[in-house]
Chains A and B, each alone.
Chain A
């Protein structure tokens, strides 16, 4: 692209690009500058870290959970033990719908704890500096978003997080989700995406 004729010249795209944007564009999505899709498994974010004083680099695990608590300035009240669950699914049997059209995916049975289950959750609860009661939900994602989100919804209901007495102001989840669909009209909690705030808080620049 930078070789196009129109991109040449002292004011051309090539010049602009090299001088001002190369770092920004080329490093997007690299692990060291935060790779959004790596949030699919929060336990396995790895970075190559150069050892000080030598040329040696080593792969190291980055604890996203702790890092995020720190980034949002969470005063942690509790970190729950991880839970692993399993579930099976069935399509909705609505007779009005055409046979081959899309249907709602439903749970077949309940979400059950199972150490071999595909779905893993871990929660942190605490308070943000401005006093909001916050729940952070970390989960591992499979490559089936529909199932992931359905399991999240059901697991969330089962934990009773939406009940009145344990109400949170803010709920963080990694991965696009349907959680707010569970919200009742007079509930006040809001869902935010972990990776979005992670990203912003890491790269927030002071501007003039």
Chain B
């Protein structure tokens, strides 16, 4: 931006100054003093580096596992190096706190039949960071202050004076300097849920430190009454008792209930409707929604003072989408927020992860806009019409993607009730445009033709509407036909007519827009309706009048029968109004000082429900294989933004840039071909038969369709000998880690018992269980896993629990003693966990039992789903790479790579974190590895461990080791669920690679899976799979084929030795090899072992 200004001005963007956030990341071994970290040679924002390092992302498995531990916990701890600051059991303790709070927040939701909260990765991290902070804050604030100061010094050391962040004062009020946390969260990223959890987290630590009594009230500050009501509703939905603050009645539940008050009601002195800040005392928990309102300097800091006073001896959590705007140009605020923003998930991350709509800013330079205003507005109208028509024609197809009927809104940023001059004139201008458009047919038709044929060229020669009207142009209708259709679809007026502007007498502040006597197509929502009507009087093409009407058109906008397609208004839009319909947004009256509000408006506009309510654009959503996106869906998933004056747009872009958002980012699809190396080789693979009893099994879950319906039951080897398997392989539940995690900071570590106690749930325990609750929990589990074919009867539970033969429960003996009823809750939890595990074991047992007789060796052919998809253009298959349009460099480099591939001269290619590995023995090449996440590649690129394995194998192969003499080696990546070869008996295990060694007419096939194994027990079916594969080999009974399976651990051997208490030799016998040993050793062992074990 302003690079030439005096050096006294700060140069470092605010997002790089978030020292508290940097400190938290440093606990995860990501040290930084500017908000970014170099990962694999690439400079990434901390959050992105974190995602890379821990292999966690928006696509990671969310939710709880059958032990009620977040799957994220496993992802976080499943890494090579333990974190000195955050040992696993501490993270587990935090996780369990989060689990408890989440369950608490879900109780009410589940009772209402609503979907339970499943944290997304960034929400989980927000909560985890809060846990870490609160734990340290309560345990030792001085130490916390010192560590934050260390980070500030680290940050300051290479910054100019103007950019330094002031240190905290260890001699001052320590708590007072540390009791404010802020969350930078994009609108739509679920900050309300985070807030609910934060309340519980804070209460937990207060209770833990026996300070619960110190808390006076819980106060939620909102910017206006509309939001207060919305918060009340949402707190209620979460089952948290809340009330709107009533200055006259101090309720019974004060200190328990959350009191919601809008900031306008806080004053220095008591008033009629207002209340003095002092009345609240200052030991409160204060929650602040959109705090920037008061933070900005315009308000003389009064607001800030109030807030500080309320939480002086308490604590505050603040949530906003727009801190960047709020602190702009204010040194003090910049310092303050740099030290209290705990987590940054602002728009750039939100959008980058694929959430919310795409956006398109249709802006012109001032001169062009002046000259071509009319055409520009017609183009905007057309782009909205395009959305509306698309939706109308494809409503059913769009349903799974939750696209609502598009709505066109005109918004200003002012929230005042009165109608400002500028705004009024903007509204009149819009109305006059619509009037002209309807009235002057010939001109309008000409404009439509011009826009569709030529677009609109700006001063610098760009056509801003290039490629924007693909759908409309594809319809091959004439401009006249479009004009007619616009009447029907947009204006509800098949016969045409004049534009009527009617003040609705029965509804204050609403003006209806209609053509002729048809249903209203639009509504204006303003404070001063009569003033606006007066202004419209006498304008050409506008018929102004009154109408008796007492239904609010505005309130009906979200109803399915609403005829309204256009909403003009300002006040309501910012005040907690919500609609999923907004898809084209016109800006009015945007000034320099309203950045924060504008960003919020924008945030509302880009919200999207998405496929299965994943909130993502369909290009980013994880669509099942069978689901196809309807054509032009992206047009409906885009928010078009335009301004009726060019400077509004310029201002808007500036706001976006300050929030770190790229102004117009389109992703383009780059198809990268692969070279296949299969040729006419005959390689065998294990697959389910293509048809079973005459039914095609491809791309369906054949077991669900054709297999016997499994009914959960206890093993009964007398009646059914096969079920002895369930007793020989009992489910194991180890409760020691959980118990240690809970005790680790409290009463000191539990004694390390040398031999864990094995407990059983007896008849007496069962008498205390709530079997209905367990039953419903299992029903949820069944639905979550999509085991719809499983029969699960309520009556079976008692019988199952009475049978002790199918599980091993490791738990300190005392936990099962009958000395306190509190323990019944634990037993309930144990019973649930055991039954879930058994349910899974049982289901897989039945599935395997049915699938095994249907497995066969099949020669791998070109149609094998493990090969990348093919097309006419790329008969060998291709990778689909999504690149941001602006990254022309990557696109250029990819083109070079494509040339290499096309000419068959493949070399190792590397650029910006992407690496293409040529390996002729892999059945297609290159293989891709990606660090950083600007690109999206499908099939998914190799991860770190997989890449290393491939490179090690390649090096070994190229070194022409004698071991490979007379043998051919081939490798194929095995894809995950639905496409690759999977073994559900090992917990739906899809090993990453299939390796063939061919010699003397024998095929040695090995399944190889490089992975971190810290979270797997030694008895885990994945670890024990090396035995299972031998059973399959026997069953398939082909004497020329040898099957094996290997796990390549990237966790060091000594660590696993400690964790499992197992010698290296024993691990190697179980086909576990260690990447740390070096390629020569472990690849050599792998190959030697895979050929040495014949059929025994």
Q: Are A1 and B767 in contact (CB under 8 A)?
A: yes
List residues of chain A with CB within 8 A of the CB of B706: 92, 94, 104
Please pick, from A37, A178, A197, A207, the residue contacting B709 in the complex, using a CB distance under 8 A.
Answer: A178
Q: Are B627 and A97 in contact (CB under 8 A)?
A: no
List residues of chain B with CB within 8 A of the CB of A179: 788
Q: Are A176 and B792 in contact (CB under 8 A)?
A: yes
Q: Are A104 and B853 in contact (CB under 8 A)?
A: no
100-137 of chain A: CB within 8 A of chain B: 101-105, 131
List residues of chain B with CB within 8 A of the CB of A16: 820-822
Please pick, from B112, B783, B850, the residue contacting A180 in the complex, using a CB distance under 8 A.
Answer: B783
CA distance A167 to B110 in the complex (A): 23
CA distance A35 to B978 in the complex (A): 41
B776 interface residue per 8 A CB criterion: yes
A196 interface residue per 8 A CB criterion: yes
Q: Are A98 and B821 in contact (CB under 8 A)?
A: no
Q: Are A196 and B793 in contact (CB under 8 A)?
A: no
Q: Are B821 and A180 in contact (CB under 8 A)?
A: no
* Stretch from A4-12, A56-64, A77-85 that touches the partner: A4-12
- Answer whether A164 and B788 are a contact pair too, CB < 8 Å, given A6-B818, A204-B111: no
705-745 of chain B: CB within 8 A of chain A: 705-711, 722
A36 interface residue per 8 A CB criterion: yes
CA distance A72 to B111 in the complex (A): 11
B230 interface residue per 8 A CB criterion: no
CA distance A193 to B771 in the complex (A): 16
The count of chain A contact residues (Cβ–Cβ below 8 Å) is 57
Please pick, from A1, A20, A188, the residue contacting B400 in the complex, using a CB distance under 8 A.
Answer: A188
Q: Are A7 and B818 in contact (CB under 8 A)?
A: yes
1-44 of chain A: CB within 8 A of chain B: 1, 4, 6-7, 11-13, 16-17, 20-21, 25, 28-29, 36-37
- Among residues of B, the one whose C-beta sits closest to the C-beta of A12 is B819
- Answer whether A102 and B791 are a contact pair too, CB < 8 Å, given A146-B709, A181-B704: no
CA distance A186 to B400 in the complex (A): 6
Q: Give chain A nearest CB distance to B872 CB in angstroms.
A: 25
List residues of chain A with CB within 8 A of the CB of B704: 181
Q: Are A176 and B793 in contact (CB under 8 A)?
A: yes
Q: Are B854 and A96 in contact (CB under 8 A)?
A: yes
List residues of chain B with CB within 8 A of the CB of A207: 107-108, 239, 241
List residues of chain A with CB within 8 A of the CB of B107: 207
Q: Are B788 and A28 in contact (CB under 8 A)?
A: no
Q: Are B772 and A101 in contact (CB under 8 A)?
A: no
A50 interface residue per 8 A CB criterion: no
Q: Give chain B nearest CB distance to A23 CB in angstroms.
A: 13
- Among residues of B, the one whose C-beta sits closest to the C-beta of A4 is B818
B817 interface residue per 8 A CB criterion: yes
Q: Are A146 and B626 in contact (CB under 8 A)?
A: no
Q: Give chain B nearest CB distance to A4 CB in angstroms.
A: 6
A90 interface residue per 8 A CB criterion: no
- Answer whether A104 and B708 are a contact pair too, CB < 8 Å, given A164-B396, A185-B626, A192-B113: yes
List residues of chain B with CB within 8 A of the CB of A146: 709, 711, 791
B777-788 vs A: 1/0 string, CB under 8 Å?
Answer: 001000100101
CA distance A62 to B818 in the complex (A): 39
Q: Are B788 and A36 in contact (CB under 8 A)?
A: no
Q: Are B709 and A199 in contact (CB under 8 A)?
A: no
B399 interface residue per 8 A CB criterion: yes
A200 interface residue per 8 A CB criterion: yes
CA distance A1 to B762 in the complex (A): 11
List residues of chain B with CB within 8 A of the CB of A88: none
Most buried by A among B110, B693, B709: B709
B244-257 vs A: 1/0 string, CB under 8 Å?
Answer: 00000000010011
B368 interface residue per 8 A CB criterion: no
B794 interface residue per 8 A CB criterion: yes
CA distance A97 to B702 in the complex (A): 14
Please pick, from B776, B783, B846, the residue contacting A102 in the complex, using a CB distance under 8 A.
Answer: B846
CA distance A37 to B626 in the complex (A): 38
List residues of chain B with CB within 8 A of the CB of A69: none
CA distance A199 to B627 in the complex (A): 35
A67 interface residue per 8 A CB criterion: no
Q: Are A178 and B627 in contact (CB under 8 A)?
A: no
Please pick, from B772, B794, B822, the residue contacting A176 in the complex, using a CB distance under 8 A.
Answer: B794
- Answer whether A1 and B853 are a contact pair too, CB < 8 Å, given A181-B789, A208-B241: no
Please pick, from B627, B692, B822, B850, the residue contacting A185 in the complex, using a CB distance under 8 A.
Answer: B627
Please pick, from B626, B764, B776, B822, the residue contacting A196 in the complex, using a CB distance under 8 A.
Answer: B776
CA distance A92 to B284 in the complex (A): 67
B849 interface residue per 8 A CB criterion: yes
Q: Are B818 and A1 in contact (CB under 8 A)?
A: yes
CA distance A6 to B820 in the complex (A): 9
B299 interface residue per 8 A CB criterion: no
B768 interface residue per 8 A CB criterion: yes
List residues of chain B with CB within 8 A of the CB of A181: 704-705, 788-789
- Among residues of B, the one whose C-beta sits closest to the C-beta of A145 is B791
Please pick, from A178, A199, A208, the residue contacting B776 in the complex, using a CB distance under 8 A.
Answer: A199
A149 interface residue per 8 A CB criterion: yes
Q: Give chain B nearest CB distance to A6 CB in angstroms.
A: 5
Q: Are B794 and A13 in contact (CB under 8 A)?
A: no
- Among residues of B, the one whose C-beta sits closest to the C-beta of A7 is B818
List residues of chain B with CB within 8 A of the CB of A4: 818
A186-198 vs B: 1/0 string, CB under 8 Å?
Answer: 1010011100110
B730-770 vs A: 1/0 string, CB under 8 Å?
Answer: 00000000000000000000000000000000001001101
CA distance A97 to B707 in the complex (A): 10
B795 interface residue per 8 A CB criterion: yes
- Answer whether A101 and B722 are a contact pair too, CB < 8 Å, given A11-B820, A25-B768, A28-B772: yes
List residues of chain A with CB within 8 A of the CB of B399: 188
B811-825 vs A: 1/0 string, CB under 8 Å?
Answer: 000000111111010
- Answer whether A97 and B853 are a contact pair too, CB < 8 Å, given A1-B818, A92-B706, A199-B776: yes
Q: Give chain A nearest CB distance to B144 CB in angstroms.
A: 30
Q: Are A200 and B788 in contact (CB under 8 A)?
A: no
Q: Give 9 closest A-B pairs by Cβ, nearest first.
A: A16-B821, A102-B708, A180-B788, A200-B111, A181-B788, A185-B626, A94-B693, A96-B853, A204-B111
State the A residues within 8 Å of B (CB). Answer: 1, 4, 6-7, 11-13, 16-17, 20-21, 25, 28-29, 36-37, 72, 92-98, 101-105, 131, 145-146, 149-150, 164, 170, 176, 178-181, 183, 185-186, 188, 191-193, 196-197, 199-201, 204, 206-208
Residue contacts A-B, CB under 8 angstroms, 24 given: A6-B817, A7-B819, A12-B819, A21-B821, A25-B767, A28-B770, A28-B771, A36-B794, A97-B850, A102-B850, A103-B708, A104-B706, A131-B560, A145-B791, A176-B792, A178-B789, A178-B791, A180-B786, A183-B788, A185-B626, A188-B399, A191-B783, A196-B776, A196-B779
